[in-house]
Amino acid sequence: MKPIITASELLSESVGPRPPVLLDVRWQLGGPPGLPEYEAGHIPGAVYVDLDTELAGPPGAGGRHPLPDVTAFGATMRRAGVSADTPVVVYDGGLGWGAARAWWLLRWTGHTDVRVLDGGLAAWTGELSKEIPRPEPGDFTPVPGSHGLLDADGAAALARTGLLLDARAAERYRGDVEPIDRVGGHIPGAVSAPTTENVDEAGRFLPAEALAARFSALGAADGTDVAVYCGSGVSGAHEVLALEIAGVPAALYAGSWSEWSADPTRPVAKGPDPR
């Protein structure tokens, strides 16, 4: 099953015999919160999920968006009506980062039927609703996977033995600017791969063939272990999604640069060269 769905496909499935559970994860780095936008109009039936408080734990040693407590995440998903056997479609305002974070968490914790609305709410041509749904609670119980997630040591090791992609903007990778974290630069050995280059002008993912060619050129050859990091594990999830579209399995270093750079004992590389 493709990890993304078009707006026309979603419209058709929504009136079909097995409509998906819809999650609205509108979010912007630094705010404002997405809830007021959701309340002003959302895809009918969609339940709002807050990225900062429900798809992440409190900021701290694990970075700006550490993984949420698994038990709390499960409660959030059940409140939204997610069950183990129900299809789920996640969307955001169009950037795709928030939706990808929810997609990755659901996949990592064992849900097998979750997709992201390609292009987000901006691609939706159907009606919007201000009605706040109260779905029947679901039965989804998250079971974190044994693969697909790296810690800082794992990311450092994979940068030496496989392909570690840095999904942030190129200027942050080089260390030219760093508007958020303690220091600029990148994990030694990581390859610059801005997530913005995975989508077109409308925010929709490039065709699978184009994405496969992009990642192949970056070093994602057959048999190579691939992982992604970003600033805090949000846009990195979007790149993991792009890699999946391209047919390349990839792990996520969820703590990402916000965790790595907070530890002064970890090495930092600067400039365009990975090392």
Q: CA 88 to CA 164: how far, in whole Å?
A: 29
Looking at residue 30, its pLDDT comes to 75
> CB burial class (10 A; 0-12, 13-18, 19+) of residue 157?
middle
Indicate whether 32 belongs to any domain: yes
Catalytic residue positions, numbered:
230
Strand bridging mode 226-229 / 88-91: unpaired
Indicate whether 275 belongs to any domain: no
Mean pLDDT of 171-179: 95
Indicate whether 138 belongs to any domain: no
Q: CA 149 to CA 142: how far, in whole Å?
A: 15
CATH code for the domain in which residue 47 is found: 3.40.250.10
pLDDT reading at 137 higher than 90 = yes
Indicate whether 37 belongs to any domain: yes
Helix axes 97-108, 235-245, angle to 10 degrees: 70
Residue 270's Cα: distance from chain center in Å?
25
Indicate whether 269 belongs to any domain: no
Residue 31's pLDDT band (cuts 50, 70, 90): confident
Indicate whether 144 belongs to any domain: no
Separate counts of helices (H) and strands (E) for the chain: 10, 10
The mean pLDDT of the chain is: 95
Residue 146's pLDDT band (cuts 50, 70, 90): low
Indicate whether 140 belongs to any domain: no
Query: How many domains does the structure of the chain reveal?
Result: 2
Range of the domain at 67: 4-123
More confident residue, 182 or 176: 176
Say if CB 6 and CB 118 are below 8 A apart: yes
Indicate whether 189 belongs to any domain: yes
The tens digit of pLDDT for each residue in 90-133 reads 999 988 999 999 999 999 999 999 999 999 999 999 999 999 99
